[in-house]
Amino acid sequence: MENNRKAVLELSQLTLSFGGLKALTEVSFSLFERELLAVIGPNGAGKTSVLNCITGYYHPQEGDILYDGRSIIRLPVHRRAALGLARTFQNVALFDGLTTLENIIAARHIQLKPNPLTGALYFGPELKKEISHRRVVEDIIDFLEIQSIRKKVVGNLPYGQRKRVELGRALAMEPKVLLLDEPMAGMNPEEKEDMARFIIDVFEEKEISIVLVEHDMELVMDISDRIVVLDWGRVIADGPPQEIAVDPKVIRAYLGD
Amino acid sequence: MPLPSGIYNVTYKEDMAILRTWCHWVWLIAFLAFLALIPAFATRSQLNTLITIACSVIAVHGLNLLTGYCGQISMGHSAFVAVGAYTSAIFCNNLGFSFWIAMPLAGLSAGLAGLVFGGPSLRVKGFYLAITTLGAQFIILFVIIHLPSLTGGVRSLDVPPPSLFGYLIETDYSYYYLAMPMAVITTYLVKNISRTGVGRAFVAIRDNDLAAEGMGIALFYNKMLAFFLGCFFAGISGSVYAHYLQTINIEYFTLMDSIWYLAMLIVGGLGQTMGPIFGVIFMVVLRNLIMETAPLISRAVPVLGIEFGAAMSLVVLGLVIMFFLVFEPRGLAHRWEIIKTKFRLYPFPY
Ligand SMILES: Nc1ncnc2c1ncn2[C@@H]1O[C@H](COP(=O)(O)OP(=O)(O)OP(=O)(O)O)[C@@H](O)[C@H]1O
Ligand SMILES: [Mg+2]
């Protein structure tokens, strides 16, 4: 079935090293349209590094990344974002001095295309533009059920809520591909459940493909269409959850030799 | 922002407006009317102080965009004020331009100078960038000193007063009506820049540049824009100040002045529109107080010598900065917000 679906992202033979350390070795996999792909692997396997290569924070020494069939390997981070790649960070990277609302509006940058001249005057069209974006942002806030912290400065919020704001910020970019780096790490079971529900809702309601990096196996087996398993910077398995669950290589990687 | 009970924001437009109740409008109009009436009762020296304040407010608004909002520390702000002052003077003296054309050109050329010295901000941040901008201070002053045919070098350069409809704006009384509206307009423009997309991009870069990039915010373009805008207002300030003094000298634009601008911003509150206004008023009034009391003290205690005033102003400057960094790191503007919120909610804070 996968073969006749269109690939949104194609990673081919990515090799990334830091000095002597090889973080990724010939990593290849694809993300198909409307797919929820999970990337799993033990600590230090290279999951975050893969996301950093896709979004442009890391520059692999070898290999190529195609987005909608076009190579994006040479594009800077902000250009890739403008093409429709949005992400969250493993260690929550919010704009701490801003409120929830402002954080999410800041992520409308691509659609807003701010202009310092019209902004300085703040007349007619500029005001309309601000209002229309405000409306989009309020919808996202309602969707994520964070109305109560709308005007709170995010620097002081508890961890679980900060993760939610970060998801909101990524959604505000109206991405085609959403890359989530351990969105549920460090949350209590209740928060985890909420977050899983948001991810599934987003996936079902929006024209979007998702790459989900996550440690919680049960959850990953539950919600993903396909799983890529990394170990020591290599892809050791790639397939539907039922296959991955019984793959001897995967079991060995997780249990140790 | 908490509103008094009984008042709700019905639309997003209302929620985003600066002035939300008729009461705000009354306050604003009353304040502007008061500003307009000041010359009717102020003395010449008070007007002189107010014009100085207006010029500094314009410059510090620029520094606030660059350092307060975008987080790019500049230790060379007075050099960009100098670029504006000298550009304006040269266009008027050598090419016979009117002040009204020379002033925007002054802003533009200071902005372009800002672009030149903002370049390193792509590579270096924080403390290292501060040192780089220190270079701007020395290089710009070096250039001004070594172009004596244009700038007068180390000697003073005369600057003609502006004229409007054939009427020369040269008294403190009339110049107040030029400088103060410029400060008010600058405040309005900076407020709008800070609350729309460009301002949000600046703050995003300040708070987390990696995440900002991931949101599609081009770091280099926006940092350069911050340098341009910040230095543009420095240039406007320099032009307005130069045509007021009618004579400028390289001595007016030293590293010490750059540090004063930073101190004003820290005291007033970084990244808040009211910050520059509070900071400049506080520091200018403080400096005047020292300058007035120091001679009295040194006359009473002659061992302190006649240089006492200058030395004392430095000591007090240091103490004030230390006090604010420790006890009021978010500046006077933040304190003002707290007091305002209390009053707005009085007597029912819910
Ligand atoms: N910027 C960097 N500099 C040096 N080494 C790095 C860097 N980023 C990652 N690495 C190394 O690359 C390897 C893979 O790291 P990565 O963060 O991608 O793992 P991960 O799968 O996300 O792990 P975790 O589950 O702990 O988040 C690790 O050995 C790590 O130390
Ligand atoms: Mg990781």
* Each residue's pLDDT tens digit, B285-330: 988 888 888 777 777 777 777 677 677 777 887 888 888 888 888 8
Pocket test for ligand 1, best of A14, A15, A48, A50 (most atoms within 8 A of CB): A48
Which residues fall inside 5 Å of ion ligand 2, going by CB?
A 47-48, 90
**B215 with A135: Cβ contact below 8 A:** no
**A135 with B203: Cβ contact below 8 A:** no
Tell me whether B215 touches chain A (CB under 8 Å).
yes
Ligand having the closest approach to the CA of A19: 1
Give ∠ CA B125-B206-B63 in degrees, rounded to 5.
80
Q: Is the peptide bond before A189 cis (omega within 30 degrees of 0)?
A: no
**A96 with B208: Cβ contact below 8 A:** yes
Number of Cβ within 10 Å of residue A203's Cβ equals 19
Ranges of chain A whose pLDDT falls below 50: 1-2
DSSP states of A108-177 as a string?
THHHH---HHHHHH--HHHHHHHHHHHHHHHHHHHHTT-GGGTTSBGGGS-HHHHHHHHHHHHHHT--SE
A46-50, A107-111, B54-58, B213-217: lowest mean pLDDT where? A107-111
Nearest to B216 among A82, A89, A93 (CB): A82
Among candidate residues A184, A196, A210, A188, the one with its CA nearest the CA of residue A86: A210
A48 CA → ligand 1 middle, Å: 7
A14-18, B35-39, B122-126, B266-270: lowest mean pLDDT where? B122-126
pTM of the model: 0.90
A179 CA → ligand 2 middle, Å: 12
Say what the ipTM of the complex is. Answer: 0.90
Cα of B299 to nearest chain A Cα, Å: 49
Closest residue, chain B, to A106 (C-alpha)? B200
* Each residue's pLDDT tens digit, B151-170: 887 888 888 888 888 788 88
A257 CA → ligand 1 middle, Å: 21
Q: Residue B20: is its pLDDT beyond 70?
A: no
Q: What local confidence, expressed as pLDDT, does residue B212 receive?
A: 95
Q: What local confidence, expressed as pLDDT, does residue B19 receive?
A: 62
Ligand 1 atom index nearest CA of A182? 27
Q: Which CATH architecture has domain B43-344?
A: Orthogonal Bundle (1.10)
Q: Residue B80: is its pLDDT beyond 90?
A: yes
Pocket lined around ligand 1, Cβ cut-off 6 Å: A 18, 21, 23, 41, 43-49, 90
Q: Are A152 and B1 in contact (CB under 8 A)?
A: no
CA quadruple A235, A241, A245, A247: dihedral sign? negative
Q: Closest residue (by CA) to atom 5 of ligand 1?
A: A18
Q: What local confidence, expressed as pLDDT, does residue B12 receive?
A: 66
Q: What local confidence, expressed as pLDDT, does residue B346 receive?
A: 58
What chain A holds in terms of domains, given with CATH numbers, is 1-84+176-257 (3.40.50.300), 97-174 (no CATH)
Closest residue, chain A, to B2 (C-alpha)? A151
Helices of type H across A47-112: 47-55, 77-83, 100-106, 109-112
Q: What local confidence, expressed as pLDDT, does residue B301 receive?
A: 77
| DSSP assignment letter at A216 | -
A89-103, B66-80, B125-139, B222-236: lowest mean pLDDT where? B125-139
Q: Residue B333: is its pLDDT beyond 90?
A: no
**B218 with A78: Cβ contact below 8 A:** yes
CA quadruple B66, B68, B73, B79: dihedral sign? positive
Q: What local confidence, expressed as pLDDT, does residue B48 receive?
A: 93
Residue with token string 């990337």: A39
Q: Residue B1: is its pLDDT beyond 50?
A: no
Ligand 1 atom index nearest CA of A52? 18
Ligand 1 atom index nearest CA of A45? 21
Pocket test for ligand 1, best of A14, A18, A22 (most atoms within 8 A of CB): A18
Q: What local confidence, expressed as pLDDT, does residue B50 receive?
A: 95
Please, which pLDDT band fits residue B18 given cuts at 50, 70 and 90?
A: low
**B16 with A134: Cβ contact below 8 A:** yes
Q: What local confidence, expressed as pLDDT, does residue B21 receive?
A: 67
Ligand having the closest approach to the CA of A44: 1
